[in-house]
Chain A
Amino acid sequence: MNLPVQLLWLIPALPLVAAGIGALTPRGGRPIAAGAAIAALIGSFILSCLALKTALVDPAAHLTANFSWFDLGTGTFRLGWLLDPLNAFMCVMVTFVGTLIFIFSLGYMKEDANFTRFFCFLSLFAAAMLGIVVANSLLLLFVSWELVGLASYLLIGFWFHKPEAAAAAKKAFITTRIGDLGLLLGMLWLYDRTGTLLFFDNGAGCLEAGALAGLSSATLCSGLAVSTAIGLLIFCGAVGKSGQFPLHVWLPDAMEGPTPVSALIHAATMVAAGVFLVARVYPLMSADQALTNVPLHALTVVAAIGAITALMGAVIAVAQNDIKRVLAFSTVSQLGYMMLALGVGSWVAAIFHLLTHAFFKALLFLGAGSVIHAAHHEQDIRQLGGLGPKLKVTFATFAVGMLALAGFPFLFSGFWSKEAILHAAEGWEVSHLPLIAGLIAVVLTAFYMTRLVSETFFGHGRSHASEHAHESPAVMTVPLAILAACSVLIGFVGTPAWPWLQSQLTGEPVHPHGWFEGAGLMMLSILLVAFGIGAGLAIYARRTRVTASQRDPIEAKAPSLFAFLGARMKLDELYAATVGKVNSALAVVSDGLDRYVWAGIVNFLGRLGEFAGVVYREADEEGLNGGFDTGSETLREAGKVYSRSQTGDAHAYLRALAVGFVVLVLVITLGGLR
């Protein structure tokens, strides 16, 4: 049983319908809203599996179903759905992880008064993300993209009565909007150049050879290929959505939303969208690779941004104290990895890491949610501690996630995907800086994850909340267990020994690497991981924290550095000092202009109009009205006379009708006789 590509729209449509149901459900209808959302997503999951099966029949093919949306001048504007292994895998991942997160939310949001609204937004979020995934048109993708932005705004600001949440929502919305501006410009430029926004259209799509050749052959004034410029503009959008440096600032703040939302944003939907976008337009991004005489390749920028982000995220994460913020910065870092992979030319590795990351990051966030739920909404790891024995399931699954994220060798999926990326970075001819950045990030990742686990689960409770923690209900732990299992198993679809996923994505047959190819790098990274974990254990687990106010060991050694990192490298402040200042100065100038210059002109014109009005009124009342009044009076008199015949007696009307009929017939017949 296969899913024809014509029905692919059903995948996003089901959660969209669920969102509609949720919106129409009154507050009391909790089971209806949640049931609709979960059922719809499960339905989408099943459809996605069918779609995947369809796509894997011929992995190299791009199945499309295009239709015309409207006629524009002489041309037709077309939209469509696309099915290939890339988005089929994405669909399965999004719906599967999403379903588990939805189920988890049942327990996590149980006490919330706006339960139905929450599920409505969640469904909308999932629908928008699935829309991005199945779109075969950059425009359709962009529409869904913006819907994702809207849904993220609604969800991050779900507890809008908290000022931080409201601010975080605004921040996320505006920051990503900056990137979206680039995407919009790139899209318009692309349409201008190629005349289509369809990705694949039997050779006429913008990602197919004909269009790409045109794009890469044209150059701008500085010798930059057009495809490079467009690719970079589109990449702007990905930077915003995926929280890449320098637009990553919204991502940690987005932790103000409910934890399932964080999980959804970080694992399955929003941030993955950026990576997916770059992977989707990869032919466009890499179109300039063949050119040698250009000043800049688009992918070089991608790799640079990715490497910076990966390193920066990992460094900052070391000094965070909020459990969710640590995870947030780890997401930033991991997304940097993916971008790095894209940049160094291995989009397959990026997608592999995206998939594995989705599972273990969802697992980690849900685990964190479980911890927070258990500890009565205490998120500060200094206040927690000693939760291991109390939250056995959560601890076990969280540990799996942590090991996967840290890239613990062989058993865990994170190891394989990360290894694929490092392997790709090693093979990049341009520079080895990304590889070095990646390797440093490996150490740091292992270190800060060990720190997080030690602080949270080892030692003893350092606050009332952590001492009285209790295990979460099954509706929350079961998804954790499923995700943990997946976090382990999903890695084995893409090991060097059997790179099934890679082959399915690229459409080439499975050809195992030689076992020793890249073994040296693997050994190095294993050592680095071991070092990171060992360091973490040595610093944090050997002597656990006793009180909440005790200083962090690193903080004790290098207080200023720790504070700098803890304040996220003061990037927010930097933005406030530069962009914000300029912005507010501009605002002051605009205000002055508005208030004095434009307002003066407008007021003058208004006065002028007022004077003219007075003149007109006089003329009207004296001159024109007299004439009309007389005319109206005459009409009214005539009307009075005529209205006498309107007796209100239905009989009279009926009689007149009948007489009229007789007369009419007589006139016609007599006239006809003559």
Chain B
Amino acid sequence: MTATLERLPLLVRDWITGFFPEPVRWLVSGLLAIVAILAVFGLYFAYLTLAERKFLGRFQNRPGPNRTGPFGLLQPFADAVKALTKEDIVPQAADKLLHFLAPCLVVAFGLISFAVIPFGRYLIPVDLDAAVLYFFAAGVSSELALFMAGWASHNKYSMISAMRALAQLISYELPLLLAVVPVIMLSGTLSTSKIVVAQGGWTFGIIPHWNVLTPWGFAGFFIFMIAAVAETNRSPFDLPEAESELIAGHLTEYSGFKYALFFMAEYFGMSALCGLGVTLFLGGWQAPIDILQVVPSYVWFMVKLSCVIFCLMWVRATLLRLRIDQLTRLAWKFLVPLGLINLGNAAFWHLSADWSGPLQIVRWAISAAVIVIPFVLIGRTLSSGLAPRTYRYAT
């Protein structure tokens, strides 16, 4: 029963490809994967927007959208209809080709990242050997599309936002990679599926061997998620589209469906990056407890993904937008040094792999100290001279 459930997507695929002649079956199965991703993540995106709005509402003491359909469940479709029926405005002086190309590219690049994420035990669209590298190669391209959008709009706010997007990408690419390298180092592979397999197993059947449950993994996950939020231009790092300063940044001159495409790309990018985070640190599709393996792996993946995305929403509901200099300072003075130290920490972990017994405790203590002490020290250095803010009227 469990095995059948686990293989269910494969069975469906084989059933469908069975209708086609042998020579085109590979093509059909490839297309099916694409269609499946488009469908699942299209729907996921749609309900993610709704969830984000509802959760943000709850975080801010209001119920959120609830008028369209039961509990507002039809809201995404109403939004889609609205976006589709709006007038498509292209500014007179815009670079028309790029203006058109930018939203298409941004969605395309957002989507191709999904190709290497293992959604389940048997569910990975392309099992590449250099999958992590592929992911980042695909990821960097989307900021290029943002730049195109900003430049093509012929609008100074859009232009500034494009520059900011570039600066932000360059700043946060580094901590993102630095956070990933320890995982690669300890798994000994760039393949996402193998990384997930490496995190399999449980201690006493209840403590999973996920990377996040080690000191270096925790620090890496922490750095990874901060950098991921910045890479996806989400609050509190949503400077490129800071609506209070730049109207809406690169989105200023976009309307209708093109705008919706950008919106979609943002959510695709976020899902993909969080998916990678889940894969690298949270054990991918592995179940948290041994006996819970009866639940199919892809369910676990989606649950974890949703939890991570919920945390991002939570952060968005809580934190204020940073200033551009604070943003780059955070990257270069905090995340990059911490990432480098964590790299050394992971190396130590790797070298001390054969420690056992009481030495295991020593190993944990050293590893935790190596990451906590720099964190405290760097934090103190960064915040020195910054007294707690005092308010004249608010208490």
Direct touching of A and B (C-beta under 8 Å): no
Interface residues of A (CB under 8 A from B): none
Interface residues of B (CB under 8 A from A): none
